[in-house]
Structure 1
Amino acid sequence: VPEQILRDTTMRLAKLRGFCDRHPMYKSSPHIIGDTTTLLREFAIPFELVESELSIVHAIEVNPRRNDIDNIWTKIIRKASQRATDTGSIQPIADIILESAQKFYPHDLRVFPLQTIVRLVATYLIDNRINEPYFITRILRQANVAYGDLFNTYHQLYSNRAEPFNNSQPGGGMELLLSELAYVLNQWIKSADERIHGYISEYLTTVSHFAFRQDLAHEFLEIQRKLEAFSANMFE
């Protein structure tokens, strides 16, 4: 619930200043806790709590500006990147994406902008020459981002050729993006293929159980044959 997220976030931020009980913001009704500018200026920004900036915007703003969200995510990935550098592992980047996805995906894509996240992570991987095949897709799939959303995001980035995907040199952004695209398409097809085979078996059982017309069974069997032929050619 946005109001609860706002109350929890602002309470946690205010405690850092030691005046939670006496701050006038908390003496008022929960419905008038304060505006976004006040919360960001007095709490989140001074303490560099960039993840809380995102929660505040999610809780209050009806139509947040895309530039504001992109700027917050830039700070989030930069902070995670510094931890990644300090620890010698890219896990901090994965962790913050997973944590944010649990809060905001799929119900609030305003504050979980897939194109921005993919672009920022790709830039980090390229700039630091990190060879982690399919890292972006694997993390976003762990976050339960749908294959369709991933494909649409990658294809839009491919079409727009925004930085870093405007670099067509070997090892550059375009090669990385196409690698992620190929991976997500393969995984998506495999996933759909397995589900469809299961569905067809269920449909055939129903046709047989109720003694429906045989041409219906033959139609499903033909679909199954075509799928098997397609899979054999696709994944051989």
Structure 2
Amino acid sequence: MSTEGKKSVNIIMVDDHPIVTEGIKSLLMDHPCVDVLATFNHGLPCLPFLASHNVDIVLLDISLPDVNGIDLCLQIKSQNPKTYVIALSNHAERSIIVSIMQNGASGYMLKNSPVDEIKKCIINVLKGKLAFTQAVKEIIEKPALNQFKKPPKITKREKEILALIDSGKTSMDIAEILFLSLSTVETHRHNLFQKFGAKNAIELLKLVKEQVVI
């Protein structure tokens, strides 16, 4: 592991799994230019330590007994903006990865990642780059399923009913205006709710305006 001529890279670990902590610590301590200053099995105690020590990198778990790692990341970056935070977690959900990155993390590693990938992530973060292990890259790059989801198709009659709902008309009003039975209007409304996954008329109109031009 190259550290760009830096004498020592100071790291702390915040993780409540001793096996993981000791394993990563042993891995990092094998390098002469890396110093694991401390390990914490709870999140909040690391904050006063960071306030009184020069720490380059925090390896941070997401699930901690006393605080959510995503929230803690934001606290760490607010208190120590020059300290890098790398998430080290078992969570492989895209939303979690995105959330902690939005809170200031510089990288995300899965705990089962190969040793070389973990080392590479640390090097890249020290160079000012965002760093992810390969599995995390694949999760991030894979588009959300609804990204390419086509908007629901709506019929001419449904468009008419939507326009009337948007103008504040009740089902009874719509039935009279369109010369339909009340049950027919209610059936159309029910079908529209299902197509857009809406729970009520307000949500339905919002979703329609986001996805379809009436």
After TM superposition, the score normalised by the length of structure 1 is: 0.27
Structure with bigger helix share is 1
Structure with bigger strand share is 2
Which structure: larger Rg? 2
